[in-house]
Amino acid sequence: MAERRPKGAGLERVLGTGALFSTAYGNVGSSIYYALGLVAVFALGMTPVVFLIAGLIFVCTAATYTEATTMYPEAGGSSSFARRAFNEFWSFFAAWGQMLNYIITVAISAFFVPHYLGDFWEPLSKSPADIVGGIVVIVILALVNVVGVKESAGLNVFLALADFLTQVLLVVVGMVLVLSPDTLVNNVDFGTYPTVGDFLVAIPVGMVAYTGIETISNMAEEARDYGTTIPRGMAGVVAAVVTIYALLPSVALSAMPVEDGKTLLALSKEEGGFADDPILGVVKNMDLGALQGAAEVYVGVLAATILFIATNAGLIGVSRLTYSMGQHRQLPEGLRALHPRYRTPYVAIAVFGLIACLTILPGQADFLGTIYAFGAMLSFTVAHFAVIALRIKQPDKERPWTGPGSIKVRGHSLPLYAIFGGLGTGIAFVVINVLNTTTLIAGSAWLAVGIASYVLYRRNQGLSLTQTTKIVMPKAIVEHEVEYQSVLLAFEDGLYSPEAVNTAVKLAARRRRGIHVLVTITVPANAPIDAVMPEAEAKAQAAIDSAQVRGKRRVTGHFEKVRTGEAGRRIVLEAKEIEAAAVVMALPPRRTGSSIFGKTLETVLSERPCRVIIDSSGDVRERGPGP
């Protein structure tokens, strides 16, 4: 039997530069459909300048991520970098910031979907229909992700390329038809429209334009020749995104200039503006002649589709990040519980999907923008400082890619892009908190809940706050799996799995290798270890007999009595005693409050005396007397 391949278990390196670029741009490029309006609300005529400043910070951040990702080509982004550079607490801190980013990505992308469909049904572009519509989008996609329907990679690549080409076309046509340097200069009355405070807030909000920068890092384990493809893919994304954001805001403010301290780009639909569908506003304010109607329909449909996919990508990111944090014991086991049928992290999807819905309820897009900036600046700043720390702590570690520019400090070569990037994102984090009280309160509450949960959970597990403790994941079985000289098949308390037996038989198939069945029986603490337990012993023997029926003469077996919590250790000792080359166990039924694997299986995985193979078919049953 070929076991379902668990996430993170030896992903095949098949992705080239093109695949990395298209996937990352599909995530990063989607933010233009709301970022332009969000920034204009604060920056008005200084919007192009804000995007240029945010773009410089983005370039530094991209260089930091590229260096660290090529050093450690594993999923996790800033959380993974912090684990390597500092400790598990700072890894959690960065991951919790990432979690907020994913939740707001889900919320903000879903919230803007109805606005771009407003041309087809006008109420969708206004409150409360936009709020209801956004929540409906999240609920639908949450259900889809629980069921586990796969995305179409080909469709995503096609849409990413269509999105990029559409944005390039808008820039080119806009520069020909509406771009006016004089209008752009007249738009600015700095200090009044916008105020200095609003301009400073706009810079971290502008970083919402670069939603998805961690995408390439999260695909690193699947990248082919990662020392080359990751830098090239990241460079392509940076060049494309920075170019679009350097030019499109100027086109937009030429088409919708600032008058009396206001621009249609920063006004809501109720006020007659396009803050909620800025790209559609750009198209509507161009004179495209006979193509006007078709262009508006095309941009509306494309934008809604791209944002729908971005919402889904955010939910996938939430589920993957939750699973990764659970593996490192940063979150309670219950959050990463898998659905008994679909084997998807349905609890995480439901919980964080609900939080995303709650953030939409006020219907305030500017709040979503500032709270995203809170999480993004936090995780980006940790990433920058992690790269600086790694230069000091691991100077001789192989770095397949390093960017230009460094400075010598006490004998250490420190990257200028991490220094400048860290200063930029760190200052932006302070600014967004000092100048926006709502963001400070909401962000601080998010951090307080996360840190408190982390501390309580780690203490409950008997773990320190800084030690890295990872649950060992089993390697996958493939159809051409090698054969093993000796296989130990372990069952606990009569829980029998015919599929686990089939797996063991297949591993020892051709040369009649030996299979030994061990069934552990848990003896209560108030009874002697050799207490007679007729019912439990009958179930254990029945499991052995059933395995012998399936495996024929090559199968031997016995049962042993153990105390509560000692079954895993007994299985490890048995594997060593018989010199087993592989241990086969069934994934146990999930019990309320227990981990995904259960204590016995986790003990075997952590002490692995040999290769451990888990059958995840879910067909685990209590065996009664008889084969």
Q: What is the pLDDT of residues 550-564, one digit of tens each?
A: 877 678 888 888 888
- For the chain, state the CA radius of gyration: 28
What is the per-residue pLDDT for 380?
93
Helix, strand, or coil (residue 556): strand
192 burial (CB, 10 Å; 0-12 / 13-18 / 19+) is: exposed
Phi, psi (degrees; rounded to nearest 5) at 621? -135, 155
Provide DSSP, 344-408: S-HHHHHHHHHHHHHHHTT--HHHHHHHHHHHHHHHHHHHHHHHHHHHHH-TTS--S---S-EEE
For the entire predicted model, the pTM comes to: 0.71
Q: What is the pLDDT of residues 510-565, one digit of tens each?
A: 555 678 899 999 887 777 787 778 888 888 888 888 888 887 767 888 888 888 88
Q: CA-CA distance, 454 to 329, in Å (whole number)?
A: 9
CA max distance for the chain:
94
Q: CA-CA distance, 588 to 600, in Å (whole number)?
A: 9
Check if the beta carbon of residue 542 is closer than 8 Å to that of residue 496: yes
* Ranges of residues in the chain whose predicted pLDDT is under 70: 1-16, 148-156, 211-212, 218-224, 343, 471-485, 509-513, 553, 590-597, 617-627
* CA nearest neighbour of 253 among 304, 307, 296, 245: 245
Q: What is the pLDDT of residues 124-136, one digit of tens each?
A: 888 889 999 999 9
What is the per-residue pLDDT for 7?
37
Q: What is the pLDDT of residues 264-301, one digit of tens each?
A: 999 988 888 999 899 999 999 998 888 999 999 999 99
Q: Can you list the domains of the chain with their CATH numbers?
A: 17-457 (1.20.1740.10), 486-622 (3.40.50.620)
What is the per-residue pLDDT for 360?
93
What is the per-residue pLDDT for 582?
86
**Helices 32-43 + 47-71 axis angle, to 10:** 130
Q: Which residues contact 29 (CB under 8 A, 6 or more apart)?
A: 160, 163, 164, 167, 240, 241, 244, 306
| Exposure of 52 in the CB half-sphere (CA atoms within 13 A) | 7
Helix, strand, or coil (residue 521): strand
Structure tokens at 215: 């995408």
What is the per-residue pLDDT for 146?
84
Q: CA-CA distance, 569 to 564, in Å (whole number)?
A: 11
Q: CA-CA distance, 177 to 252, in Å (whole number)?
A: 11
Q: What angle do CA 25, 31, 33 make, to 5 degrees?
A: 120
